[in-house]
Amino acid sequence: MNNTSFIDDWAILKEEIKKLDARCKLYRKKAEKIMNQENMNTLYGNNYKVDRREKHISRITKANLPQDIWDQYSTISSSQCYYVKRTCHA
């Protein structure tokens, strides 16, 4: 039998990450507000700094192309995904 006790630890860790991501989002919004008010792109703390940069990305979607070109040049990529969910008997 496989030792799968790590799955519970994994699920708990994912929940902690979700909470930390929410906290990071709050800090990001706070930095954005200050940067906008002060018209600056860099904030300095005691030991760290935050730089704001604008990133531009060009994308193409199936809806933007004629079907024959999409069929000729599109590629499919696959990867394995893992989903951790609480079971009903937990």
Residue 26 resides in a domain: yes
- What is the count of structural domains for the chain? 1
Task: Decide: 51 and 41 in contact? Cβ < 8 Å.
Answer: yes
Domain that residue 67 falls in:
6-73
The reported pLDDT for the residue numbered 44 is 92
pLDDT digits (tens, 9 = 90+) for 31-87: 999 999 999 999 999 999 999 999 888 888 899 999 999 999 988 899 988 877 777
Q: How many residues does the chain have?
A: 90
Residue 29 resides in a domain: yes
Residue 46 resides in a domain: yes
Cβ-count burial 51-70 (b if 16+ within 10 Å, e if not): eeeeeeeeeeeeeeeeeeee
Residue 87 resides in a domain: no
Q: Is the pTM of this model over 0.75?
A: no
How far, CA to CA in Å, does 12 sit from each of 16, 18, 20, 28? 6, 10, 12, 24
The reported pLDDT for the residue numbered 90 is 53
Query: Measured between alpha carbons, how far is 3 from 22 in angstroms, rounded to an integer?
Result: 32
Question: Collapsing DSSP states into helix, strand and coil, what is residue 79?
Answer: coil
Which position has the token pair 């929410």? 22
